[in-house]
Amino acid sequence: MDTITLSVRRGSPEQNTTAYWQEFDVPIVEETMSVLDALIWVQRNVDPSLAFRRACRVGMCGTCGTVINGREGLACGTLLGAAAGNGSGPVRVQPLRHLPVIRDLVTDPGVFFDHLRGVDPSLTPGPGLQEPVVLSPDSRERQTVNPHRECIYCGLCYSACSVAGLDSGFLGPAALNRAFALVSDSRDAAGKQRLQIVASEQGLWRCHTIFECTAVCPKGIPITRAIQGLKRKVIVDRLKNLFRLGR
């Protein structure tokens, strides 16, 4: 049976090991085999100590985010054969960037979720709203908000963001995208406060429109567009304030 070489970045800071690459020859059991399938095969047949995260295996949960051949991707959503360029590899698999490694491919997403919590990611209903409040599916507002609500919080955008790598205090693409989804939603009443949070020094202004987040998002969310949308909202808000001050 044909095999593809899987090269995995391994190591554990707790056991004070230095990171190293380990190669495994994985048989092509199925044409449509994913990188995650290959990792599972290695864990079951070669090395049970290989550590990685996964849950749903169908691209819904956002747990198996890794860096494959230098690019962020969901291991379950990346075909092994395609990643090997229809050859025999090697396919290089690394943990996500900018997050501390716990072991092998498992990272600590703490800082990613801290930033998400920082923008208060839950909807704050205004007074007097009677449930259920719906945005009509064909309304303009719904069209604007919809793609930005697709986020599965896999952290690929955070790993791909060059600024997050330089400044761990930067809110990051996912948190800003969530803030945009809420600020653009008329059912949310905390828009002004949320704009204040994202307009802080380590918020919007650290985004330099590098577009890496948008490129790697497994849900195709136009993240940079969301961040630019927030910037425009703040510009309008600030300039309004300035002219009010002048009066």
Partner 1 sequence: MAFSLRALSLHAGNFQDRYSGTRSGWWAWFLQRLTGVALVGYLFLHIAVISTARAGADTFDTVLIILQKPFFVVLDLFLIAAVLYHALNGVRVLLFDAGIAIKQQALLFWVCMLLTAVITGVAGYFSLPLIFRE
Partner 2 sequence: MKPRDMSAPLMSRQEKIITGFWPWFLQRVSGFLLIFLVGVHIWMTHFSGLGDVVRGHQEELVLFEIVKQRLAQGLFIFIDFSLLALVLYHGLNGMRNILLEWGPAARHAAGMTAGLWLLGVGTFIYGAWALLAFIL
Select from partner 1, partner 2, none the partner in contact with residue 205, using the beta carbon and a kind-dependent cut-off of 5 to 8 Å. Answer: partner 2
Number of residues counted as binding partner 2 (CB under 8 A): 28
- 210 binds partner 2 per the rule CB under 8 A: no
- 234 binds partner 2 per the rule CB under 8 A: yes
- 78 binds partner 1 per the rule CB under 8 A: no
Select from partner 1, partner 2, none the partner in contact with residue 115, using the beta carbon and a kind-dependent cut-off of 5 to 8 Å. Answer: partner 2
| Region binding partner 2 by CB under 8 A among candidate stretches 11-19, 27-35, 98-106, 167-175 | 167-175
The angle formed by the CA atoms of residues 187, 192 and 193, to the nearest 5 degrees, is 105
Tell me whether residue 41 is exposed, middle or buried, using C-beta atoms within 10 angstroms of its C-beta: 0 to 12, 13 to 18, 19 or more: middle
- Residue that has been written with the tokens 């749903």 in this structure: 56
Pick the binder of partner 2 from 209, 235, 236, 240 (CB under 8 A): 235
Q: Which residues inside 86-145 make contact with partner 1, applying CB under 8 A? A: 94-95, 97-102, 108, 110-111, 114
Centre a 10 Å sphere on the Cβ of residue 16 and count the other Cβ atoms it contains: 7
Pairing mode of beta strands 101-103, 106-107: antiparallel
- 139 binds partner 2 per the rule CB under 8 A: no
- 196 binds partner 2 per the rule CB under 8 A: yes
| Region binding partner 2 by CB under 8 A among candidate stretches 34-42, 98-106, 164-172, 217-225 | 164-172
User: How many angstroms separate the CA atoms of 159 and 190, rounded?
Assistant: 29
- 61 binds partner 2 per the rule CB under 8 A: no
Centre a 10 Å sphere on the Cβ of residue 185 and count the other Cβ atoms it contains: 18
Residues forming contacts to partner 1 in the complex (CB under 8 A) are: 9, 11, 13, 19, 67, 70-72, 94-95, 97-102, 108, 110-111, 114, 159-162, 165, 168, 208-212, 215-216, 222, 224-225, 228-229, 231-232, 235
